């Protein structure tokens, strides 16, 4: 019985802590949240700033709010973060610089694939136009019909 009570208390405590952590996050309709959604947590790999409850992210969100309150636009705030912490802070970093080959490689691969596929199709089409079409038997021609009769008779 004691164990069950302890387990329920633990569940309640976890629920309460989770609730408090959630309460610290800005509401989804806030402009801060919308900007934070476009940034990465600096310390947790791959985690969104808006949904991260760490101290670092709390500071960054406070900075976003302070800049918005000071009259800066969302774009200006994002530029501030990019200038201060680098382009990797953005959820969608600019498609240039070091990562440019990663964006260019699939496009290059697709162009090469399409070029080779096009060449193969063109060569197949060329081959088909050079091959003479089979001549259909013309039974309406009396000469051909007589010839066929003679051939059959000879067999």
Q: Which residues bind another protein (CB under 8 A)?
A: 42-43, 54-56, 59-60, 62-63, 66, 83-86, 98-99, 101-102, 104-106, 108-110, 112-113, 116-117, 119-120
Phi, then psi, of 27 in degrees rounded to 5: -65, 150
CB of 5 to another protein, least distance (A): 34
Neighbours of 51 (CB within 10 A): 14
Residue whose C-alpha is closest to residue 44's, from 53, 32, 33, 34 = 53
Phi, then psi, of 6 in degrees rounded to 5: -65, -40
Smaller CB separation from another protein, 9 or 24:
24
CB of 138 to another protein, least distance (A): 35
CB of 14 to another protein, least distance (A): 22
CA distance 20 to 119: 63
CA distance 155 to 146: 14
Smaller CB separation from another protein, 106 or 132:
106
CB of 63 to another protein, least distance (A): 4
Smaller CB separation from another protein, 9 or 43:
43
């Amino acid at each position: 019985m004691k164990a069950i009570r302890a387990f329920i208390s633990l569940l309640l405590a976890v629920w309460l802590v989770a609730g408090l952590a959630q309460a610290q996050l800005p509401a989804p309709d806030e402009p801060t949240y919308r900007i934070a959604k476009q940034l990465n947590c600096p310390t947790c790999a791959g985690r969104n700033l808006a949904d991260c409850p760490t101290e670092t992210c709390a500071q960054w969100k406070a900075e976003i709010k302070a800049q918005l309150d000071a009259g800066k636009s969302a774009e200006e705030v994002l530029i501030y973060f990019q200038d201060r912490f680098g382009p990797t802070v953005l959820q969608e970093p600019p498609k240039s610089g070091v990562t440019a080959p990663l964006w260019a490689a699939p496009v290059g691969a697709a162009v090469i694939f399409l070029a080779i596929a096009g060449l193969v199709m063109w060569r197949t089409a060329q081959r088909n136009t050079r091959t003479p079409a089979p001549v259909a038997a013309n039974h309406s021609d009396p000469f051909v019909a007589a010839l066929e009769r003679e051939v059959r008779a000879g067999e």
